Chains A and B, each alone.
Chain A
Amino acid sequence: MSYVNGLFARRLSGAQCAGGMLLAVAAVVFAGDASAEEWGTIKGRFKFGGTAPTAAELKADKDVEVCGKHKLVNEELAVGADGGVANVVVFVRDKDVKVHPDLVATKSEKAVVDNASCRFEPHVLMVQTGQPLVLKNSDSVGHNSNIATLKNPPSNSLIPSGGETTVTFTSEEAIPAQLTCNIHPWMKAWLVVRPNPYGAVSKADGTFEIKNVPAGDIELQIWHEKAGYVGEMTIKGKAEKIAKGRKKIKVAGGDNDLGEMVLDANLFKK
């Protein structure tokens, strides 16, 4: 009961302060570890456990002349022919990780979401705080981009055909933010806002790769739009519970292959 009590008492428990300082000192010592100069690549592959449902087709009921021409499918769960699960998000949860010199510049590179063929491309995008995110529209009809961030101010801009607008985020988001178009309600995408470049979205074959992560102990977090933070998976044949999708690993220099991670079909039944 420190601050809550202290709100009235206006005093802070000294003991806790000291405890905090000790921790801080420990952290500094730890960060000074010699392994900081080593960098590793984390990779793996998400596989669907069970028979994958076929993605339902969507029917465009607005701007039918344009959107009706495209084959639109429900993209919430995309499983490839070989069982790979696409659009699974993996990121390094630790906030103060050291960023590899080669990756520093990625923060100023543009991240792009295109309104193309009456859907968002890509469906899931990692974007860093401070990184310019360009929302553009390659379609011949107008769209709007409604970003439902929780920590950052939400926004909703009109994007005419051929137009674009740029937004940047100042804080990271604990949960990926949904991007929708109110004019075409079937259009949905997700933005994963992180403070550093250490994250990836699995490709169509279920593989992902996060390069140049500083060697040492880190915590990964795994999310999928249907499954939420993935609570369990079978990794290298062994069932594992990972509360809130958090998995601690030790990164070594070079390749760190997590292998095949099977996500059970039940996780996606939401």
Chain B
Amino acid sequence: MKSQSQIVSRTLVRLHSSWAVAACGVTLLMCVSGCGSTPAAWFRPNMVEATKQRLTPDQERQVSTVMLAMFGTPDAPVAPPETGLDEAKLQLAAGPVHSDIVGRKNGLYREHCAHCHGVTGDGLGPTAAFLNPYPRDYRPGVFKFKSTERSDKPTHEDLVRILHNGIPGTSMPSFALLSPPKVEALVEYVKYLSIRGETEIALMRAFFELDDEAQGKLPETREFLVDEVLTPVTEKWKSAADALIAVPEMASDLDLAASIAKGKELFYGDKANCVKCHGPTALGDGQANDYDDWNKAIVEVSKEVKSGLERAGETSTSGMDSEALAEHRGQLAWLDKFGRVLDGGDALRPRTIQPRNLRHGIYRGGRRPLDLYYRIHAGINGAPMPAAKGTVPPEEIWHIVNYVKSLPYELDGELGADRPMVAKDRF
């Protein structure tokens, strides 16, 4: 059965009620607590970004109100028409796991994905902390394994493929057993969470750019919320299909052994420079103390909080005038809040990213030569791996692909200059 709250909020939305949205939220909450059905799920605000931007509680509320109006709740998602999202698909994926028609199950996202990716898509599900790599946080809208240029969004088909294949070598499972309509619904829901998360980040960052006259209030006009904030996000999703990487066919009469030899030269040479990160042995032991974008963000704020606390500890308050004292206290309160946000479940402990051990032959983004071409051409978005595009011409990228494909089988005993290969290296 649909929960009362869903019906209420959906009706409100459909009625295009002109009530204050905050009031609508309150009604929703009251009903849920009063109706005794499944507890309402809520989208966790992006507290790391909110705290980084030093938002006041009032500003956090402004963002939550706009987010509620634009995107609804996990039980009753809505999507502004500008997003191009299909609400019917979202309904199928959203909400608690339940069935109101025999043979049709709703709540797919919470059934299959939320324990890793979190109800909010923030990568903070209950199992997340135990996994390596961590499940993807969709909110920055950054995806790794796709057929589009580096900074572009994945296509619909890319996401379908990820769900179909899973991500080998990580905990992300394959959902090949789900029916195509269910996969469609889940893909739509991933896009929804991603667009929602990006919009939230954009809103939180917008306070900084406000003019003084705005007095810390975001404009609640359509020009601002849709044209300035939402549209730049949705446009990128809509143009993904136009951003496909053009892949010339590998020459059909290519001499494989010669191609592998050329690829090897490129791999260890200065132009493609793969060796710098993947190491002289291709075991992924080159540049190993870097972070991906998600972890780097946390590393940076943690540093700021740590040094801020140290400094505050050294600061003597004697002799401060009342204004300086108030500022000092404000800074302490902010540091304290940030400390709590970072330790209190809004962020995971940062981990470095290991360049892939290419002797394993396990490729997260797919093992077709085409997949490797995409990875090398565009690099890996969100990860340190740079794009070879523009530097390495297509035919040479194919040589590198062939060499990479040969690496797990390169059994001549020589692993570059360092040492002979031992069986363990391959597992």
Contact = CB atoms under 8 A, between A and B. Distances in A.
B276 A246 contact: no
A141 interface: yes
Interface in B2-36: 12-13, 15-21
A4 B21 contact: yes
B289 A158 contact: no
A53 interface: no
A144 B271 CA distance: 11
A159 B273 CA distance: 9
A183 B276 contact: yes
Contacts of A161: 270
Nearest to B67: A4
Interface residues of B, number: 52
A31 interface: no
B404 to A, nearest CB: 15
B386 A146 contact: yes
A3 B307 contact: no
A105 interface: no
Nearest to A139: B270
B358 to A, nearest CB: 17
B116 interface: no
B17 A158 contact: no
A55 B70 CA distance: 49
Interface size class of A (residues with CB under 8 A): 35 or more
Given A156-B386, A270-B307, A4 B290 contact: no
A62 interface: yes
Contacts of B17: 8-9
B139 to A, nearest CB: 14
Interface string B299-324: 00000100110010000000000000
A63 B386 CA distance: 18
B277 A182 contact: yes
Contacts of B205: 150, 174
B359 interface: no
B128 to A, nearest CB: 24
Interface in A233-270: 243-244, 246, 269-270
Given A158-B387, A185-B290, A4 B69 contact: yes
Interface string A152-164: 0111111111010
Interface string A1-39: 111111111111000100000000000000000000000
Nearest to A149: B151
B225 A183 contact: no
Contacts of B272: 158, 160
B224 A182 contact: no
A185 B288 CA distance: 11
B270 A141 contact: yes
Given A1-B220, A8-B16, A157-B387, A183 B277 contact: yes
A12 B273 CA distance: 56
Nearest to B16: A8
Contact of A10 (B12, B16, B311, B390): B16
Nearest to B62: A4
Given A1-B21, A4-B220, A9 B16 contact: yes
Contacts of A11: 18
Contacts of B253: none
A1 B379 CA distance: 44
Nearest to A165: B390
A161 B276 CA distance: 14
A158 B392 contact: yes
A83 interface: no
Contacts of A270: 304, 307-308
15 contacts: A8-B13, A8-B16, A8-B69, A16-B221, A142-B271, A142-B273, A153-B151, A155-B151, A157-B390, A158-B388, A165-B390, A175-B208, A182-B277, A269-B307, A270-B308
Closest 8 pairs between A and B when the two form their complex, measured CB to CB? A153-B151, A9-B18, A144-B386, A182-B384, A142-B273, A160-B271, A3-B222, A8-B16
